[in-house]
Each structure stands twice: as C-alpha cells, then as structure tokens.
Amino acid sequence: MSLSLDLDAPWGKFNVSSFVPLAGLIMSYHVRVKICGVTTELDARQAALLGADAIGLNFYESSPRYVGEATAQLILRELPPFVAAAGIFVDKPMRTVFERLAFFPRIRIIQWHGKDRELCECLPYHLIAAFPVRDAASLQAVQRYLDACQVAGRLPSALLLDGHAPGQHGGTGRTAPWHLLESFRPGVPIILAGGLTEDNIAEAIRIVRPYGVDVASGVESAPGRKDAEKMRRFLANAREAAARLS
C-alpha cells in the first residue's frame, strides 16, 4: 500500500512516501546529539559508547579546544561506525577548509563560523552554517543568508544556532533565545547549541524541537576535558525529552 504524508518538522514541512502497511508505521522524534570540542581519544571513545551521534573537532587555533592534525587523527581512529565527525572552522576560506580536510577522510561535516560566508558547492561534505543568535534581528540575518543560498542553489545541510557572545565562536556557555527559535522554521534542520546542560536540555528540546543539539562546555570538567558522567546524563535527558514528544 502506498502512503504519502506531509509532516511538520521543526525546520519546515516535508513529505514522506512509503510502501508499508499503515499498521506498521511508527513515527517518533529522534534528536541527534553532538559532543563538540573533543580533544582526547578517551573522550571520543566515551562519547561514542554513551550514544553520541557525532563529535566535533575544533580546528580554530584560538579555541581552548583546538586540536592539531596528529591529535585529530588519533581521535578519529577511536570512532566506531555510524558515529559522525565534524570539523569546526572559523573565518577560513572554503578552499583552505577543503585542503585541510583532505588529510581527514573520516570527517564529512564542516561546521563553519564567521562573517564572510561563501556560497559554494561543498560536496562531498555536509555544511553546517553556524550563527550566534541574540535577538529577532539575528534571525533576520540568518534568513537573508538562506535566501541568498536558495537563489544560488547552495542551501546548507543544517543551521547551528548558538548563544551570542561577542568575539567568541561556541563553547561559551551562553544560551540562545529559545522563545525566538520556537517559531523559527528556516526550511533546513536546526541544531541547537549554546549553554546546554543536563539540567536544561529537556526544556530546550521541548521548546525548540531541534533536529539536533550540540554541547561542549555543558559536559566538561574543564575546557576541552569531557566528563563521562555529565555526558551520560546529558544524553539520557536529551533522549528522554525527545521520547516524550514522540
């Protein structure tokens, strides 16, 4: 039997067609979790074993979570199948990003922060365009970027919407204005970041209903040092919150 459904996801409407019996159709909300700013092999291994969908490696030299090429290679070797890896870059020309990632075939996601955004073809990579959000004007700037991408036929794979901290790019512990994001439907998946912890992740998911969540400082004992118990509780609370919304 053919089934066609129009679903209203947090990032907009999409259509699902399937050839399965209606009785066998189970729709559920699964929130993806990325542990960002991983700096050690042990932290990568623990994040994967605890159920993280992805980790982030920070190639921004000014970040306390920066990793060099040798360390990044060792971390990537610890990842099992089906756990993705993202490379984080700030204000780097995409040509430079592509050249850097040529040494890391395990990384297939580019998370890009900065001001001078290029509308270029990123295949075979998925581009996550990261934006700090402070107010409604911030979201208007995001929408203008998406409109330009739409015209160029170069939409990003997802948006990462972070808390606003002047001069900083992620890992600040500042939360984004969830009440503004609640009604924001950009037409691409939203990854919520900024100040997320085991204590507030359920509320953040309930309000924003993002495609994914991104956490760095909220699961650390010190900048760049993940805490296994904090990761476990964060992941458990995120999954439980998503299950309640299914």
Is 36 assigned a catalytic role?
A: yes
Tokens of 233: 């509780």
Is 162 assigned a catalytic role?
A: yes
First to last CA, the chain: 24
Reduce the DSSP state of residue 86 to 3 states and report it.
strand
Reduce the DSSP state of residue 15 to 3 states and report it.
strand
CA 177 to chain centre: 17
Tokens of 37: 């700013």
CB distance 110 to 86 below 8 Å = yes
Q: Which residues pair with 226 in a beta bridge?
A: 220
Angle, CA 127 vertex, CA 78 and CA 106 arms, to 5°: 20
Nearest Cα to Cα of residue 117 among 84, 140, 151, 94: 94
Pairing of strands 190-192, 158-163: parallel
Cα 72 from Cα 236, distance rounded (Å): 27
Q: Which of 6, 8, 120, 162 is catalytic?
A: 162
Count the neighbouring beta carbons within 10 Å of the beta carbon of residue 198: 19
Instruction: List, by residue number, the catalytic residues.
Output: 36, 162
